[in-house]
């Protein structure tokens, strides 16, 4: 891990160059309560399979990056895709990476590819959301309740440290605002021209397979779907072998 100063904040990054200088790098974008460390050994394993480099970073307010006081603005995902991610790429010298985003990270990856159609070589969208469903609201509310009344605070403190409350409550409060029920990015997906691999577990308790259909049918570029039976919200951990194989095959076939 090392730090970079991006968009007026210190962010922790994990950066590994490609084995072959001609190969792209894969940028890993974590979930709404995750961090760069949340990916564990997965980036290194996918890098080894593809010869690609990789970058994983903790967004502002997450992991070992600067704390982000709440309340968080309603457009925090838009700002990440339009401002922060491009600045991270500039700071690390990466051009036209493959974006691998999980949950909120998948949404950010799609938003970036829509805003910068030539900016991404391809997108792997894992458990992303492009509209807010009732199942999503219920899952976020459960996460907040577990944090306030159960064991989730202790589990996440090791990841986010002293600012764990601002991280978890900033994120959950944002999505649980009544105004967020109308949130969605489906209209933007037509601007995504790069190849997209859409991955989701059939038992995901934060989104239905309508998300998969909306993404695959909404983008302009070629789209592949991978729906995993007996799998929840974190396919890259729950079904790691299948996800590694599918992601590596997708990346090898990118132009």
Query: Could you state, in order of their start, the residue ranges of all structural domains in the chain?
Result: 2-130+185-252
The whole-number pLDDT of residue 21 equals: 85
Sign of CA dihedral 167, 176, 219, 198: positive
The whole-number pLDDT of residue 19 equals: 87
Weakly modelled stretches of the chain, pLDDT under 70: none
- Checking phi first, is residue 205 left (phi over 0); if not, alpha (psi -120 to 50) or beta? alpha
pLDDT tens per residue, range 178-219: 999 999 999 999 999 999 999 999 999 999 999 999 999 999
In the numeric block, the tokens 């900033």 are attached to 170
The whole-number pLDDT of residue 104 equals: 98
Cα–Cα distance, 183 to 180 (Å, whole number): 5
The gap from C-alpha 228 to its chain's centroid, in whole angstroms, comes to 18
- Looking from the CA of 62 toward its CB, the CA atoms found within 13 Å total 22
Q: Assign domain 2-130+185-252 to a CATH class.
A: alpha beta
**What residues does 97 pair with on adjacent strands?**
none
What does R_g of the chain's alpha carbons equal in angstroms? Answer: 17
């Amino acid at each position: 891990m090392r730090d970079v100063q991006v968009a007026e904040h210190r962010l922790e990054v994990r950066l590994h160059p490609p084995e072959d200088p001609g190969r792209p790098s894969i940028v890993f974008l974590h979930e709404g309560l995750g961090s760069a460390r949340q990916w564990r050994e997965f980036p290194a394993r996918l890098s080894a399979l593809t010869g690609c480099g990789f970058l994983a970073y903790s967004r502002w307010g997450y992991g070992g990056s600067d704390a982000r006081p709440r309340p968080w603005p309603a457009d925090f995902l838009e700002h990440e895709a339009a401002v922060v991610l491009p600045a991270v790429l500039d700071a690390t010298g990466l051009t036209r990476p493959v974006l691998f985003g999980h949950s909120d990270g998948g949404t950010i990856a799609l938003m970036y590819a829509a805003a910068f159609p030539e900016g991404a070589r391809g997108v792997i969208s894992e458990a992303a959301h492009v509209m807010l469903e009732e199942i999503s609201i219920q899952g976020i509310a459960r996460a907040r309740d577990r944090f306030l009344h159960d064991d989730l605070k202790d589990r996440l403190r090791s990841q986010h440290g002293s600012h764990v409350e601002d991280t978890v409550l900033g994120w959950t409060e944002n999505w649980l605002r009544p105004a967020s029920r109308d949130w969605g990015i489906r209209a933007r997906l037509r601007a995504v021209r790069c190849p997209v691999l859409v991955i989701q577990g059939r038992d995901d308790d934060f989104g239905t397979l309508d998300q998969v259909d909306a993404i695959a049918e909404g983008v302009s570029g070629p789209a592949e779907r991978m729906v995993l039976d007996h799998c929840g919200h974190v396919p890259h951990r729950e079904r790691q072998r299948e996800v590694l194989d599918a992601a590596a095959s997708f990346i090898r076939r990118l132009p």
